[in-house]
Chains A and B, each alone.
Chain A
Amino acid sequence: MIFLPLMGFVVNGILGKWMPKSLSGWLGTATVLGSFVLAVMNFMELSGGTPEIASINTKLFTFLSVGDFHVDFAFQFDRLSAVMTLIITGIGTLIHMYSIAYMHDDDGLYKFFAYLNLFIFNMLVLVLGSNYLMLFFGWEGVGLCSYLLIGFWYKNVDFGKAARKAFVMNRIGDLGLLMGLFLIYDTYGSFEYQEVFRQVFIGTADSTAVNTAIALLLFIGAMGKSAQIPLYTWLPDAMAGPTPVSALIHAATMVTAGIYLVIRSEAIYALSPFAREIVMWIGLATSIMAALIGLKQNDIKKVLAYSTVSQLGLMFIALGCGAYTAALFHVITHAFFKALLFLGSGSVIHGMHHEQDIREMGGLRKKMPITYLTFLIGTLAITGFPFLSGFFSKDEILVSAFTHNPLVFGLALISAGITGFYMFRMFFVTFHGTYRNHHHPFEKVHESPLLMTLPLLVLAVLSVVGGAVNLPHYLGEGISGGLHHLLSYDGGGKFSPILMYPEHVIELSHTAEIGLLAMAVSVFVIAFLYTRNKYVVKGAVPEADADQQGMGKVLSNKFYVDEAYDVAFVAPLEGASDTLTHYVDEKAIKSAVDGVGKGGFGLSKMLSKIQNGNIEYYLVYMVIGIALLLAFNLF
């Protein structure tokens, strides 16, 4: 299952240059599809099979063995991994398929698919590893692939910079993760999930402080990967990569690695209310801030990027409230509709021949009916239109926030409401109104080929019905909470569940819950009507960046966070490295290196006089040498 994409990577990477273009694309797709099929089969075995099993464990070989320190290259396919694997391979397959058409005229096509396959492989290692070190392995791997893919069009300097930024930001988070891992090993003496959690559970190292420290360090890692304050700025810049990459990495899979990490480490987080509180507030702050910034972005992909950051913030709110199922549920539905939206935007960009500014679009619904329809579904899903997938998952988060703290609920509701504003703004400006691009005639705008629209349709269906994974209980006890049962199921005590502690039980009466839903829906309706009025009825077009004033200007400049980071971190570092270059590198090291070279040259000039070609001298040297050797031996 895991090694199919790796095979795809190797074959595409080595032979891709000599293969026909379509072959490398289909090969990449086929390997991921194969993984998906295997994942489904394994999942069936896991959930449907009798006797029930906790997980499928496979140990391949010993990864590291130093003294009494052992780490196995082992995989653990349990219920949480299963869900993640299905998302990764399922959506991965669709995106691979889509990329065949999207990237068809790119010279580096085989390279692109090689990277994509490598990414899928690493992501699978991340979610399937049976210990923290495997997770770290995959974690670094996806970071690398993300760098490669963002900077895929490496000839553009800005794209290269965006890739570097993503990489550096991730490194900061990785450092936190790494320190967290060290602390885990130091405290519990193992990296194996089951061993660590067993010890956490029986409390051999029953120290809240240590657990809090571990939880916070792990969360720093999650911040980097899942783009939370203060490490979120890489994600919008990462939109420099090809659109399928944005969909795959930056919406559906990689950014959810942080969520996965926290859910996986639930046992540790459960013991540290303080760490959970931090997680929640950071998630909340990120969610609102990103949503606000999203209001004023004009690049179709940037809007989606900030929307992703905002949704990830919502997921962390759920994690902070202890509602792990809700978070995972939102991961699933978000993967569906965000991949759909990104692929839809890719279709728009493709149809517009690489125009990304929504102010240059408009009225596209007539030319791109399938994209329009699927995009509409995606927008409705993300904004929480009743009974679409996003509605259920988002409301579950809101409900859990409400039971935790009504203030958090209020703020989260605002954030979710803003989602409606910026999504509909983008949607209406892009697809309704009149066509505004004067460089590119309207007639040339075209619908994307079937290979691109098919994944869109599949994802649209999933976005609609995705909520069925975990229906709320007011719809009936029998059909609700599928995901919740899956995660907290402990096989009648036969094996350890993934969530060791009972989840935060939602004890709300149906009326209260429906009241909350009504609030959520009303926010949705307000957002819909307001933006529709502004952008469709009045036909307004977002202002140019220079015309922004007051708050709008702050927002369109993303709260000046990038600039602040530049001043606070980048500039001093650059200054320091300049100084180092000038004094240490050029003066000290260069003269030292040159000195060695010059010294060697002078010495060899001197020594070359000895080699005068005359045998007699050579013989004398030889005798002297032997005499010295003998003398050395004897005395």
Chain B
Amino acid sequence: MSLLNIFNQVEISHYIYLSTVLFAIGLFGVLFRRNAIILLMCIELMLNAVNLLFTAFSTYMGDSDGQIFVFFIMVVAAAEAAVGLAILVLVYRNTRKTDVSFLDQLKG
């Protein structure tokens, strides 16, 4: 039994539920947590929820476009995480905090 069949045994609706839950967890984490590291992790979680959905639909439809998209998103996500963490390190060096609610220097 090939790997593809294992995936196909799980119904598409389960993938949708799972990715929705993951996305919601990520979203709420972004909205309500203050620690910048957790914020980044939550963003990552949202991205991967989307990735999951892409892959699921790609398999379901028998179309490889979605999987190609996933690779692009992963590249972007990696770059974003690298830049975000670099910023975070600098912020921490300057303020000794990782709490984003103190970062309000840019108000209009």
Contact = CB atoms under 8 A, between A and B. Distances in A.
A608 B107 CA distance: 8
A616 B104 CA distance: 10
Given A620-B31, A623-B27, A615 B100 contact: yes
A611 B108 contact: yes
B31 A619 contact: yes
Interface string B73-108: 000000000000000000000000000110111111
Contacts of B105: 613
Interface in B10-30: 27, 30
Contacts of A616: 31, 34, 100-101
A612 interface: yes
Q: For the side of the interface on B, what is the size category?
A: 10 to 19
A611 B100 contact: no
A614 B103 contact: yes
A534 B34 CA distance: 109
B107 A619 contact: no
Is the contact region of chain B dominated by helix, strand, or loop, or is it mixed?
loop
Of B30, B103, B106, B108, most A-chain CB atoms within 10 Å: B108
Is the contact region of chain A dominated by helix, strand, or loop, or is it mixed?
helix
Given A619-B30, A619-B31, A613 B107 contact: yes
A616 B108 CA distance: 15
A613 B30 contact: no
Of B27, B103, B105, B107, most A-chain CB atoms within 10 Å: B107
B3 to A, nearest CB: 34
Nearest to B105: A613
Nearest to B108: A611
Nearest to B34: A616
A495 to B, nearest CB: 73
A517 B105 CA distance: 100
Contact of B108 (A608, A615, A619): A608
B31 A612 contact: no
Nearest to A612: B107
A611 B31 contact: no
A620 to B, nearest CB: 6
Of A608, A615, A620, most B-chain CB atoms within 10 Å: A615
Given A616-B31, A616-B34, A623-B31, A611 B107 contact: yes
Nearest to B103: A615
Contacts of B104: 612-614
Contacts of B103: 613-615
Contact of B101 (A608, A614, A620, A623): A614
Contacts of A611: 107-108
Contacts of B108: 608, 611-613
Interface in A593-611: 608, 611
A613 B108 CA distance: 7
B106 A613 contact: yes
B102 to A, nearest CB: 9
A619 B103 CA distance: 14
Contacts of B31: 616, 619-620, 623
A146 to B, nearest CB: 56
Interface string A206-241: 000000000000000000000000000000000000
B46 to A, nearest CB: 11
Interface in A576-635: 608, 611-616, 619-620, 623
Top 5 closest pairs, chain A to chain B, by CB:
A613-B107, A613-B104, A611-B108, A608-B108, A613-B106
13 contacts: A611-B107, A611-B108, A612-B107, A612-B108, A613-B103, A613-B106, A613-B107, A614-B100, A615-B101, A616-B31, A616-B34, A616-B100, A619-B31
